[in-house]
Each structure stands twice: as structure tokens, then as C-alpha cells.
Amino acid sequence: MAVSYKKLWHILLDRDMKKKDLENLAGLSHYTMSKMSRDENVNTEVLGRICKALDCKVEDIMDFIPEEQN
């Protein structure tokens, strides 16, 4: 199952924040931010830190994208 962090990037735009701001606020590594920029899976602890830093819920920052079935 794929993930999309488009919602997170929209939140950052709405709050006039850069990815580096979130990195510092949530204590994320550059590697983690790179993974998220490529819509790759990250640890649930990371998602929790982001939600705490932005005062939001997981469903506010990401979507699960079901795989196409043949």
C-alpha cells in the first residue's frame, strides 16, 4: 500500500513553513524528510512527532493509496 504526504505539504504551505522548519520542530532527520518527499513509508513514531509538532492527526498529514488490483 502506497502513502502520500501531499496533505502535509499543504499544511506547511498554509502555515508558511518550510520543510526545514518542520525538520527542526519535530526533530526529524534530513533522511526522513527525503523519504517523505518521495512518498515513502516512515516509522509511526515519526508520524506521531509530526502530529504533535503541528497539533494535528495522522489523517491530516497523509493518505493511504490502495494498490490497483488486476
What CATH number has the domain bearing residue 31?
1.10.260.40
Residue 26 domain boundaries:
2-61
| Beta-bridge partners for 64 | 3
Q: Is 38 left (phi over 0), alpha (psi -120 to 50) or beta?
A: alpha
Residue 67 confidence (pLDDT): 83
Please give the chain's pLDDT, 70 residues, in tens: 799 999 999 999 999 999 999 999 999 999 999 999 999 999 999 999 999 999 999 999 999 998 876 5
pTM above 0.85, yes or no: yes
Note whether residue 41 is domain-resident: yes
Residue 9 confidence (pLDDT): 98
How many structural domains are present in the chain?
1
Residue 41 confidence (pLDDT): 95
